[in-house]
């Protein structure tokens, strides 16, 4: 047998093995939404939409998303105004809309960012959700954002799943991801990848397609996807137990962002979120974000639900250097950076289907922090290109180097809060290096290597 035939046979065996998951698919639970809505209504407190204990086994993921309030349908003071709940302090909770997060994280001050124009953000979630584009269209109309549709070339839907995810929690996750990423980078294009299921194989293959595009990804033909754009940034708001066997899916020459989890690092959690702990990805932790009436950040603290801690399987990456390497030696420390996640300082998310009704929910979790960071990176990428730089292909190397060189110039240090570990000076196991917007201007990041 010659070398070419041997390589072909090896590739076929690999594909067969990796697609064997389809025979034991993880099917969506359509009762999740109703249970979460009922629990939230009964207690008046934020609830996990998909409870931590519902995922059994290391090779499955769940969306770390919390439902805080039913905000109802759009309520306006006058025609063309934002919904009345937008960027409003209700005492026990605060509702962010896109303009509020843009103000707090200073995206308008990123020189030549132009809302992320020229970049592509991929959103990877599990199961099909056919109403995503129409839901996003209504959100954009209500929030005064540019349209993002298949027709204008902004939105691409890539469905890899035969299963409808409506009511499973992944539908609300999808809308949070799409709406917050678009809200942070309204001129970036979006590719919405709907993974076969919530297994690491299903989601991992979706990540490969998101990063490489079709037909470049080896998985495109098997799913029957002839063409889809390759993303610059891949946002993954899902997490599960550590299993470094699957690391090969997450070695891409693109910025891969993952949510750190939503149950903190208390002893009851029992594991560090994965794939967030993989050394080839950027792990995004969570904060509580506070602003003044001008939408300027007044403070940011570590959110109790933010995942983080020391990996059981992944070695210390060289890029962590003095920031993080001494915390978990000899294994990887996470998260790397952080953004708003606290459901009580959450994001107004629009959804319309029979399981949720039609209207807005206040939603949080590190499921929010991940796409918010994706939008921020899209703005930074556009700025970099305008100055003759290339787009980022791996965020961690530059961010850790920046922190070591001049921390306060690049990063906002989150020094209070606790997820089982205390937040503190510079790197910690709640918020990592902190928030990337720094104390003044995020456009400083266009100079990263």
How crowded is the C-beta side of 139, counted as CA atoms within 13 Å? Answer: 29
To 10 degrees, the CA torsion angle through 360, 362, 365, 371? 50
- From the centroid of its chain, how far is CA 135? 19
How crowded is the C-beta side of 29, counted as CA atoms within 13 Å? Answer: 14
Round to whole Å and give the CA distance between 360 and 352. Answer: 9
- The whole-number average pLDDT for the span 42-70 is 88
Domains of the chain, first to last: 27-447 (3.40.50.200)
Chain segment 346-370, per-residue pLDDT in tens:
999 999 999 999 999 999 999 999 9
Length of the chain: 449
Round to whole Å and give the CA distance between 132 and 121. Answer: 15
Which residue's entry shows tokens 């918020």? Answer: 431
- pTM higher than the cut 0.85: yes
Q: How many H helices and E strands in the chain?
A: 10, 18
Residue 27 has pLDDT above 60, yes or no: yes
How crowded is the C-beta side of 204, counted as CA atoms within 13 Å? Answer: 22
Which residue's entry shows tokens 């801690």? Answer: 309
User: What's the mean per-residue pLDDT of the chain?
Assistant: 90
- From the centroid of its chain, how far is CA 253? 18
Chain segment 246-266, per-residue pLDDT in tens:
999 999 999 999 999 998 887
Residue 443 has pLDDT above 80, yes or no: no
Q: Do residues 237 and 222 touch, judged by C-beta distance below 8 A? A: no
Report percent pLDDT > 90 for the chain.
77
pLDDT of the residue at 323: 72
Chain segment 276-291, per-residue pLDDT in tens:
999 999 999 999 999 9
- Which band of pLDDT confidence, cut at 50, 70 and 90, is reported for residue 8? very low
Residue 17 has pLDDT above 60, yes or no: no
Q: Do residues 250 and 278 touch, judged by C-beta distance below 8 A? A: yes
Residue with the larger pLDDT of the pair 219 and 17: 219
* 3-class secondary structure, 436: coil
Round to whole Å and give the CA distance between 255 and 185. Answer: 16
Chain segment 296-354, per-residue pLDDT in tens:
999 999 999 999 999 999 999 999 977 766 788 899 999 999 999 999 999 999 999 99
């Amino acid at each position: 047998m010659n070398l070419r035939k041997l390589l072909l046979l090896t590739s076929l065996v690999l594909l067969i093995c990796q697609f064997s998951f389809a025979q034991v698919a993880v099917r969506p639970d359509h009762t999740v939404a109703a249970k979460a809505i009922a629990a939230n209504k009964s207690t008046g407190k934020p609830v996990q939409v998909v409870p931590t204990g519902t995922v059994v086994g290391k090779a499955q993921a769940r969306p770390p998303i919390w439902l805080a309030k039913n905000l109802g349908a759009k309520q306006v003071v006058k025609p063309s105004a934002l919904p009345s709940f937008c960027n409003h302090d209700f005492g026990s909770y605060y509702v962010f809309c896109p303009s509020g997060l843009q103000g707090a994280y200073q995206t308008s001050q990123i020189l030549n960012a132009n809302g992320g124009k020229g970049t592509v953000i991929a959103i990877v979630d599990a199961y099909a959700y056919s109403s995503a584009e129409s839901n996003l269209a209504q959100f954009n109309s209500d929030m005064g954002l540019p349209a993002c549709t298949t027709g204008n070339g902004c939105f691409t839907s890539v469905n890899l799943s035969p299963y409808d995810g409506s009511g499973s929690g992944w539908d609300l996750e999808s809308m949070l991801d799409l709406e917050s990423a678009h809200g942070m980078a309204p001129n970036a294009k979006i590719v919405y990848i709907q993974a076969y299921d919530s297994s690491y194989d299903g989601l991992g293959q979706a990540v490969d397609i998101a990063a490489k595009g079709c037909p470049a990804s080896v998985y495109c033909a098997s799913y029957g996807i002839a063409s889809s754009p390759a993303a610059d940034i891949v946002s993954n708001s899902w997490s599960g137990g550590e299993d470094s066997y699957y690391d090969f899916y997450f070695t891409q020459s693109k910025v891969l962002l993952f949510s750190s989890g939503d149950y903190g690092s208390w002893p009851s959690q029992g594991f560090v979120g994965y794939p967030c702990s993989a050394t080839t990805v950027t792990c995004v932790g969570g904060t509580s974000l506070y602003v003044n009436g001008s939408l300027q950040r007044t403070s940011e603290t570590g959110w109790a639900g933010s995942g983080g801690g020391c990996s059981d399987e992944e070695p210390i990456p060289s890029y962590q250097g003095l920031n993080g390497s001494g915390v978990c030696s000899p294994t990887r420390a996470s998260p790397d950076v952080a953004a708003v996640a606290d459901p009580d300082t959450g994001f107004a998310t629009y959804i319309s289907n029979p399981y949720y009704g039609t209207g807005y929910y206040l939603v949080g979790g590190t499921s929010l922090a991940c796409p918010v960071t994706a939008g921020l990176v899209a703005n930074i990428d556009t700025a970099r290109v305008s100055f003759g730089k290339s787009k980022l292909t791996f965020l961690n190397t530059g961010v850790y180097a920046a922190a070591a060189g001049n921390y306060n110039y690049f990063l906002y240090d989150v020094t209070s809060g606790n997820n089982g570990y205390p937040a503190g000076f510079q790197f910690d196991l709640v918020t990592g290096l902190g928030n990337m917007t720094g104390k003044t201007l995020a456009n400083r990041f266009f100079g990263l290597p």
